[in-house]
Amino acid sequence: MASTLDSSSGLWTVLGQASNVAQLVGVDALGLVSMVVQAALAARRHRDACRRLAQHVEIVGGLLRELELAELMRREATRRPLEQLSGALRRCYALVTACQDCRGGYFGRLFRGTRMAEELRAAEQEIDMFIRLVPLIALVDTTHDRRIKATERVQSVAASCSSLQTRTQTRVVEFTEISVQGAIAKVGKQLLEEKVHFEEQKTKDVEEFVKLCTCTQESYPGFKKYDLFQIVDGTENFSEKRIVGSGGFGTVYKGELSDGTIVAIKRFDEHATDFNSEVQLLRLQHCNIVKLLGWCVHGKERILVYEFIHNGSLDFIIFDKTKGPLLTWYKRFGIIKGLADGLVYMHKHPLLWMMHGDMKPDNVLLDHDMNPKIADFGSARTLSSEAGQGQTSRVVGTRGYIAPEYASRGLYSLKIDVFSFGVLALVIISGRKNAILQQKGMAYVECWKAA
């Protein structure tokens, strides 16, 4: 560790005097992680090196979020390495901040040479060391907690048995200590197994998502992989003001790529598991179906990138007192016809029959010419044949639009979309919300039926 720290000591002597670094003394490690990542996004020089360093710092941040930092800082064995980590993160922040502005002075001379590139590589190596060290800190913390709990329980039993003879008391304490340690070990093992299983399942989901997207990318050259920093840049770090929609599987943001392209970025929630139906969109190239452009996976982040439809969803227009009247009968008929064309294409596709499963105004997007595009395929299912049907214990849909046989028994087929389309057509014609939605407080339905 010392050699790595010494490699950056020369530059840190200069950077440590900077006012912006001095202000970081009271910031905790997780706060520093966030600041380094944000600063790296604004780097003007050595941009690739800064972002690569930020990616390594982000891995450390993910490990730190699994720990109780406040408790660890009270113990000598774990406090010192965490303080060294904070120092390393402050150095990283100073480096990437310096890369934001290269005008004159010491930093100007530094940029013109190779010194800054070397310092960034040294900082990256130092952070890599902490990536290996943080899990060891967690292990020390777990061992410490188990020892404390065992001691407290043994002392409690010993106090309650104070009236017994010394020899008997000793045997009871010894027996109790063994029992308590055994119980703690058993519970600890169970919790560890559950945590490991949960982490393995999440890792498995991410690996399957990567595999699916990679295979799809080979078959469809237009489908590309995006870097997380492109996504973060384009959404202003997933700013709330960029949100254009949300649902049961994730949040959709309006993003702008470096080349000026406006896109819709769907960021999946952690509990989302079924991505196959979303990626299947690449097979459905139709003017009335939203187009899928690419994907991104970084750590726990799973993201899909779509074309951006500028007029937004149908429900924001048709139910609006000002915009609603602008939808003439001709335009409403065009929307209904476009939706019908899109559904027929999905249901009659030569390679697969796909059921959307959640047709409603929120999932219909309108372009500049008010042409509809079917969106949000998170509830979609593929069928083996046109007349095929299936049954599921997990029913997902929207009250007022969900077919009765699907809601009550979990039976699904292409008829599900036909029912929803009929309700949707009535809503478009009348310009009124479904009465069932007005009567119910919760419109979205997700439930599990008994098998």
Cα 231 to Cα 225: distance, rounded to the nearest angstrom: 11
CA angle 25, 26, 30 (to 5 degrees): 100
128 catalytically annotated: no
| Crossing angle for the helix pair 47-64 and 115-160, to the nearest 10 degrees | 0
Residue with tokens 């079924």: 274
288, 373 contact by CB (below 8 A): yes
User: For residue 406, what are the CA distances in angstroms to 354, 357, 358, 432?
Assistant: 16, 10, 11, 24
**Which residue stretches of 161-285 are H helix?**
166-219, 228-234, 276-279
Residue 266 assigned to a binding site? yes
Query: Tokens for 53?
Result: 């360093």
For 110, residues 6+ apart whose C-beta sits below 8 A from its C-beta are 11, 98, 116
Helix (H) or strand (E) holding 93: helix 76-98
Q: Which of 197, 312, 194 is nearest to 252 (CA)?
A: 312
Q: What is the largest CA-CA distance in the chain?
A: 97
Q: Which of 434, 188, 431 is nearest to 328 (CA)?
A: 431
Q: Which of 107, 106, 4, 89 is nearest to 46 (CA)?
A: 107
Q: Which of 377, 364, 370 is nearest to 427 (CA)?
A: 364
308 three-class SS: coil
Cα 384 to Cα 414: distance, rounded to the nearest angstrom: 11
100, 39 contact by CB (below 8 A): yes
Query: Tokens for 308?
Result: 């951006």
Residues comprising the chain, all counted: 451
Catalytic residue among 358, 362, 376, 417, which?
A: 358
98, 15 contact by CB (below 8 A): yes
406, 395 contact by CB (below 8 A): yes
Adjacent-strand bridge partners of 302: 297
Cα 274 to Cα 12: distance, rounded to the nearest angstrom: 47
Amino acid at 10: G
Catalytic residue positions, numbered: 358
* Residue list, annotated binding site: 266
* Residue list, annotated binding site for ATP: 266
